[in-house]
Structure 1
Amino acid sequence: MRVQIAIIGAGPAGLLLGQLLHGAGISAVIIEQRSQEYVLGRIRAGVLEQGTVELMDIAGVGGRMHREGLVHDGTELCFKGERHRIDFHKLVGKTVMIYGQTELTRDLMDARRALGLPTVYEAANVAVHDFDTAHPRVTYEKDGLAHEVQCDFIAGCDGFHGVCRASVPTDALHTYERVYPFGWLGILSDTPPVSDELIYVNHERGFALCSQRSTTRSRYYVQCPLDDKVENWSDERFWDELRLRLDREAAERLVTGPSIEKSIAPLRSFVAEPLRFGRLLLAGDAGHIVPPTGAKGLNLAASDVRFLWQALEDHYRGNQTALEHYSERCLARIWKAERFSWWMTSLLHRFPDNGDFGRKIQEAELEYLVHSEAASTSLAENYVGLPFGE
């Protein structure tokens, strides 16, 4: 097979890039080691920045998102038993959209299928070759047969554990990482959300988050020890713990029910530099990870895709230097999102070594944050998404 772009990974980043490249008349194949069902089964993010919403519209796949997604004008911070609202729209004139990553992925899959564009699922032994030359290629096995894709560029959208970043010589890569000393125990339930907007909770028992996927499906999290096990948490124990961390009104309004999904996720901050290695370009989790506190993971992936799509389109229009600044442009935005996610995580969680002094500092910063328009504006500006190119 010969295409202009070989995309490794059929998650949201790879699928969105493929859709945008098709609109620009650039041929691409997407190669994914997992099954389509597995990709759709991953329970991930649900908060879309305005820029991500706009990019879905540009790709021509925003119709169902606008019909079913929930526009949020703000969010709530809960500490010392009281909630305080941060009004995004009033402060910065922007909003976010609540729309699950599973649904976004489904929309992209459906659009690609309708267009008859090539996607290979359950590809075994995927490998990238010769990306430091003018003739990169990708090999894989499918149904016992060996295949090779010749291409101009390889887009590594295959996640943190994917083959693309792992194929880069170690001396060409600089990584930065912080692993946090706790995890998030999360459940998904077919119950109405406890609030119309997300509630972020700082509590002496640990962080909690009340999120949602729709008006009838909720996503809740509580901070837990990093070595905790899902088996230790019955649904009843989870709901009891969540109530203890909420303010009285929210605790009384909380509607409980059986969990659809329950898991514990570790938290880390990670960045790989650079994101370009000859004709291999990394995007999304292949190049960076953020703790979910700031709702940046999926949005950063979309941001990378935006820069990569624009650079590739410019390249094929004759701008031979268009790709030279891809990594630099992405990383400038990535590090700002990493800072915000680290700050939100530090502000809202209980750290084992921070003690009483750390708790009082958190409370002082939260008080300042909700009572200072300047501080509230800074949070709102970062949460809804910083402008591209700044």
Structure 2
Amino acid sequence: MPEGEYRSPGHRTRAGEGPGDIAAHYGVTATALLELNPWMSQEATLAEDGIVVLPVPHGLEGSMAAISDRHGGPGLLIYGVGDWSSKMLASAQCSWASVAVLSPDGRWVAVQGADGRIHIVDVRADSDRVITEPLAGFVSPKWSAGCDWIMYEHDGHVYVVDADSPSKGQTFPGHFAGWLGDGYRTIYTHMGDIIIRDMVDGTVASLRSEPEPIWGLAATAYGESVAYLASQGEDVVLCTVDVIAGNGWRVGVDRRVWPWSLAWAPNGKMIAYCAGGKQVDGGQVVRVVISRPGDDGEVYETEVIGDPRFSGLSWSPDSRAVAVAARIEGRGQYGVHAIEPGVGMFQLTGTGNCVFPDWGREAG
């Protein structure tokens, strides 16, 4: 097995048994078994000494939006983590550069379609509406906590538009933008500074006393903490700042960290990021790092075979685990894997490629 590649447990088949027999023996659902073994049908009669990939019960919940080609070209997938269910939405045409983001209430997905425009997709009705003109390049939308605003970056500027009335909104120069706290404040970098902007009255405040080379930023969605990546000489440091108290913490990290992957757990207690490594056939060895901020904070690391163009990184809504897209053992395809600190890693998808997972509450 190549370095960093995850291996799911397997079952050696006996002549004449079927998926239902295997599922019953291991206490898993047939839906989960078929998800990880797309070559197998519900009615299949299996031959002697075949290998079936086994799903591992994980107790994780919620839904994911992702991009998948399980029905042909790249499309929008809604995946049920707890019951292994899947649903492809046809209303928005996607590309492999599309990033799908679930709204906090699970009702909607914002995604840049193959036409370059940002679409809002109704998960239950599978209908969509467009809120922007075509945008060149890679665009990753972000929902506000109340599901009423959508933020995205384009050409060195941050755009915040009303999800129901796209003509309403604000635009300002900035990078690495995100939502802070209650969703009525944005945080972003501009000219080496970290800016907090109140979206109601337009006031801004600086978080840095002097400019600093910053190339990654993340804020807690339901708290008052900020994390950012900065250059310190030839090194890279991960910094956290309490917006209210002003105190912070700095620690050196791998120079190969992927800036866009920096993400806080929803409860604001842990941070995760990816760091690239050596190239291997079909991708690169990627370290997924999950840490608890502080001088004595715990650090959990695991390795996968990933690709910065497709991996994504997203926390579960209960802050228990993160999801990334990583290469599936022996197949060259990419599937979603969940990593729970102190517990392990679980393969969640196996049908087609599945990339850019965004984990949220139950969708629909």
TM-score with structure 1 setting the length? 0.27
Q: Answer 1 or 2: which has greater strand percent.
A: 2
Return the structure number with greater relative CO, CA threshold 8 A, min gap 6: 1
